[in-house]
Structure 1
């Protein structure tokens, strides 16, 4: 806990390249991410997208010291 805010570490694997709206890996160029899912089509800041994915994952995955969950592969990494 830091300054009254709980901190939980999340593995960053593909978090900025996976669309936070539909979980499809998009095309990242610099700070811009374009979702490749035609029915979604989200475009925006890749870092903001990654932060939203990390916020979603924080309750679903174990800390970095344990095996990590990868959004792109939809499974735990050893």
Structure 2
């Protein structure tokens, strides 16, 4: 699937290079960068990691504005 498909299907502002906050880690929220797609999921490299993981576009993700404020998102599951 493409990034455009994910934006339309899930109504999220996902774009390659955008910053996110993943809130599903037991240790607390973690920041990361969208690096691509895999099927209908986002490939995100969390800060400090060498490999990217696949994340559902609406599950435990907050999409951040360039200033670090939350653009959209929250805890969806």
> What is the TM-score normalised by the length of structure 2?
0.33
More helix by share: 1
> What is the TM-score normalised by the length of structure 1?
0.33
More strand by share: 2
